[in-house]
Amino acid sequence: MGFEYGYSLADPNALVIWEAQFGDFANNAQCIIDNYIASSEEKWLQRSGVVLSLPHGYDGQGPEHTSARLERFLQLGNEDSRSFPSPEQLKRQYQDCNIQVVCMTSPANYFHVLRRQVHREFRKRMSSSSLTIVSYGRALIESST
């Protein structure tokens, strides 16, 4: 994951995706996630657009393979969960948050999330789930337009 993070800094316009095939891969990358992915913008004013594609919950083989739990990444977020921004402040909140956690429900969602990641005016780290490996994660190209 260190390579992908560095590459996303070197080429901010690239779509850089790191996939943890099982939750235990996220275990090994936890120090990079904590020290670089979640806090680099606050520490060093560096914006990265790296995408973490993670299995979450019980997508893996059981409790020993589920360290990439969604709640762990939600806790890394720096926004106040007790308040919701007004519609005028919502766009600014997207820029001010340190990470965006996304849970897609269809292949079209995944396509549009990645499309948004590439076309935004600013770089922001993103964590997604493992929709790409399940059988219902397939669709015709027409559903993504």
Give me the pLDDT at residue 145, please: 62
Please report the DSSP string for 3-64 in residue order.
Answer: HHHHHHHH-TTS--EEE-SSHHHHHHTHHHIIIIITTHHHHH------EEE---TTSSSSGG
- Give the pair of three-digit tokens for residue 132: 């790409």
Q: Which fold has domain 2-144?
A: Rossmann fold (3.40.50)
Could you give the residue ranges of the DSSP H alpha helices within 65-125? 70-76, 87-96, 107-119
Mean pLDDT per 10-residue interval, the chain, length 145 residues:
90 86 70 85 84 66 60 76 71 75 80 83 64 56 63
Give me the pLDDT at residue 36, please: 87
Give me the residue spans of the domains in the chain. Answer: 2-144
Give me the pLDDT at residue 28, please: 77
Give me the pLDDT at residue 71, please: 76
The pairing of beta strand 126-128 with beta strand 17-19:
unpaired
Nearest to 104 by CA among 63, 31, 25, 51: 51
Question: Looking at the whole model, is its pTM more than 0.85?
Answer: no
Give me the pLDDT at residue 7, please: 92
C-alpha 89/C-alpha 2 separation (Å) is 33
Give me the pLDDT at residue 10, please: 92
Q: Is the dihedral of CA 82, 87, 92, 97 positive or negative?
A: positive
